[in-house]
Chains A and B, each alone.
Chain A
């Protein structure tokens, strides 16, 4: 069953490219441990999920690229074409000239409605190409204007138009010390809207991934492409075909559905995070050995202590829920994701709400949002809905 990816904004597009690249190179990698037939089945399954075939054999990613300015999309398209192994559909992208100016209101109230039809048309075309459609995977950031504003708008529309399919939103939590000054406002507004219209929110924090790059992978000068590659690696391990629990001969047919079934028991608790082991640079791979048991042990430790990586675990144990896990084979990287009372995430979110609160008290930057139709009541609504979410998580 196929997944259609919607890449929004600079962040979404850059990550989306890395994800497709990682998926394809992983399925074609020559390091597999299984027999040829298995490899082929794996490849076929992966391909069907994310790519559609073209005449000359080059797979085309099932993706829609949206951005309000042309530079990033043209870069992404050319990078994909250059790799020679896959590419994006020629007409699968939508871009404007002027950007959203980091303004959620501009993205949501102006760009969204204005371009609603074109964007939904593109998505519909992609969906029609799929034989059996499983759901949407939407990649966006929360700090900017396009990803957050248009992302919220598009997710809402998808909810209306495709109410039977599942949507998983991959959102990027910005750095704590700021990449965009109004990121708190943008994040609050995005989260509150997404909570209502999305089925699951998979959160990645720039800070955490940055630390993984620094400590575990030993990269000296970390660039955004390094960060995106780590993210793609993690996402890849979620989405690669896995055996289902019942029979070990067929791959799971409905990836998104299965994930949601296990991980989102109640619509109130939608936030997911990924813990992935092991992370290391290519050079160290040759010097390390793994055992399944060792990896599992690491993961359990990470989970109990709510750490994002293997090192530097803080051993204050907080009680946590654990849900069923899905194990993947065929790749060297395993993953487990749990839906716990994500204390870390909740704290982060709490802090975000608070700093946005303080800003709002002084009415800072509000005039930029009211220019496009987002009034103070909208802010208030967002605050209340997020507080509710935080409270319900805390009650667990």
Chain B
């Protein structure tokens, strides 16, 4: 079973992570009726009981222990959350907000599952990368190694962070390099929240560009997401649901954005709905690796198929359907609608329009009672309206997982390697240059030892190179497919 370790960095990363664990538990509880620890759960959870509290660099372990499981299974695999958080207030080593989620047996779903998530928070200050990276390097490394040792076969690290803040972007990207050195064979999937237009962090362009450089070099695969699109999606859902246009076919609360049915109700925080979308993205991404299906797709297949050149590893994602339908028997029209929606720009989790840009590769991960003929039919239908790069005209990867997400009868996650990420990067660069030209706020960064202006210029040039590559691909957009001469051999 493929096991993954999730690393949540920064406030943003942590909040998304919390939602992720809630939803993951909810999903496994729904699928795994007997509450027995099985292979599917083993991808993210470890079947152990003890908790370790350290000081300084603290870790938390997510565990599911169930009474039956202990008798029948030997402890198998593991998952660990490392959480570092930054609080703008002072003092290091203050532990804030120990949140414990304890699920008691016999609670509504009557599962014999008890999960204890302990989240311990370590507090850092702004420039996470240089100072805290090096300061806590050893401790962090130790925790990572420990977590990896618990796994039978560790396949993937999931890193969740934001690009605009300090800890998320700084320490998060420092971790990337460390993971690459320490575990070169394990893929690194990064979910990055890019800063949107109105941002509350003024120096976010600096943070983002510096982080981009690291992402370019050390990440295997990046899923960029931005807050503005998430917000738009939420408002759209609210609008549709509240306007009553869809009548009784749509349930009042979309299960994609709500955590209802989760094993414990937390306070509703303002970013909850948006975080839930990202959490669902991660769940759907790993669904084919965790559950059975007629055409499985593992995590390493994602990077194998969707990353044609090592530099171009930014994947735009979209999730459909967003509403929960009450009617379980979905007519094929709705199914087709789901596929069309996945390619519309309203459903993308990044502000981008993939239909009008060039596709390098596209993956469709379908969950639920959808068969291969439906997928084929929709690919045939949608292909003429999408532009694929000349050397990859049939660049589709499909995967079918038979277990649908909670509350839906089927769902689709589309991952596209598309040149439509280019405008986001260009905008980021522009905002950076505006600040940089005036050297605004620069002294804060230069005060940190090890930072020099050359870091900034390097970062910008690396981003420019990336944009250049996308430009080159775009230039080939409307060229006809070349017919290369075949190898001729002497008979």
Contacts and interface: CB of A to CB of B under 8 A. Distances in A.
Given A367-B309, A387-B487, A97 B294 contact: no
Given A222-B371, A362-B391, A181 B305 contact: yes
A364 B469 CA distance: 13
A358 B390 CA distance: 8
Interface stretch (B5-13, B25-33, B296-304): B296-304
A358 to B, nearest CB: 5
Interface in B477-491: 481-484, 486-489, 491
B295 interface: yes
Contacts of B303: 101
A182 B395 CA distance: 8
Contacts of A291: none
B2 A357 contact: no
B397 interface: yes
Interface in B440-491: 481-484, 486-489, 491
B292 A178 contact: no
Interface stretch (A68-76, A241-249, A306-314, A321-329): A68-76
Nearest to B291: A71
A102 B399 CA distance: 12
Interface in B379-398: 379-380, 383, 390-398
B376 A177 contact: yes
Contacts of B291: 71
Given A98-B298, A395-B491, A358 B372 contact: no
Interface residues of B, number: 51
A233 interface: no
B484 A223 contact: no
Contact of A358 (B383, B396, B484, B488): B484
A363 to B, nearest CB: 8
Contacts of A101: 298, 300-301, 303-304
B77 to A, nearest CB: 9
Interface in A340-364: 350, 353-355, 357-359, 361-364
Nearest to A219: B373
Given A70-B39, A182-B304, A98 B2 contact: yes
A179 B398 contact: yes
Contact of B298 (A69, A210, A367, A395): A69
Given A69-B296, A179-B295, A99 B396 contact: no
A388 B489 contact: yes
A210 B395 contact: no
Contacts of B310: 367
B74 to A, nearest CB: 15
B149 interface: no
A225 interface: yes
Nearest to B370: A221
Contact of A178 (B372, B396, B491): B396
B96 interface: no
Nearest to B151: A97
A178 B395 contact: yes
Contacts of B298: 69, 98-99, 101
The winner among A180, A223, A362 for most chain B CB atoms within 10 A is A180
Interface in A169-200: 175-182
B225 interface: no
B397 A181 contact: yes
Contacts of B409: none
B373 to A, nearest CB: 4
Contacts of A214: 373
A19 B332 CA distance: 31
Nearest to A224: B294
A132 interface: no
A121 interface: no
Contacts of A22: none
B489 A387 contact: yes
Contacts of A179: 295, 396-398
Nearest to B394: A178
Contacts of A72: 292, 296
Contacts of A210: 372-373, 376
A227 B372 contact: yes
A69 B392 CA distance: 28
The winner among A210, A214, A223 for most chain B CB atoms within 10 A is A223
B410 to A, nearest CB: 12
Contacts of B374: 221
Given A10-B295, A97-B152, A222-B371, A182 B305 contact: yes
B306 interface: yes
A114 to B, nearest CB: 13
B18 interface: no
Contacts of A70: 1, 39
Interface in B256-312: 291-292, 294-296, 298, 300-301, 303-310
Nearest to B361: A181
The winner among A10, A361, A365 for most chain B CB atoms within 10 A is A365
B294 A223 contact: yes
A353 B486 contact: yes
Contact of A102 (B305, B373, B489): B305
Nearest to A385: B489
A161 interface: no
B371 A223 contact: yes
Contacts of B482: 358
B296 A71 contact: yes
A137 to B, nearest CB: 23
The winner among B373, B398, B487 for most chain A CB atoms within 10 A is B373
A98 B373 contact: no
B153 interface: yes
Interface in A210-234: 210, 213-214, 221-225, 227
B162 interface: no
A155 to B, nearest CB: 23
Nearest to A225: B294
Contacts of A354: 483-484, 486
B217 to A, nearest CB: 14
A115 to B, nearest CB: 14
The winner among A364, A388, A395 for most chain B CB atoms within 10 A is A364
Contacts of A355: 393-394
A6 to B, nearest CB: 20
A383 to B, nearest CB: 5
The 3 closest A-B pairs by CB, nearest first: A101-B300, A222-B373, A97-B153
20 contacts: A10-B295, A69-B2, A71-B39, A72-B296, A75-B292, A101-B304, A178-B394, A180-B397, A181-B396, A182-B305, A210-B372, A210-B376, A222-B373, A224-B371, A354-B484, A361-B391, A361-B484, A364-B308, A387-B487, A392-B491
Interface of B: 1-2, 39, 152-153, 155, 291-292, 294-296, 298, 300-301, 303-310, 361, 363, 371-374, 376, 379-380, 383, 390-398, 400, 481-484, 486-489, 491
Interface of A: 10, 14, 69-72, 75, 96-99, 101-103, 145, 175-182, 210, 213-214, 221-225, 227, 350, 353-355, 357-359, 361-365, 367-368, 383-384, 387-388, 391-392, 395
Given A176-B394, A180-B301, A182-B304, 8 more contacts: A71-B292, A97-B1, A99-B296, A102-B305, A177-B383, A221-B374, A368-B307, A391-B489
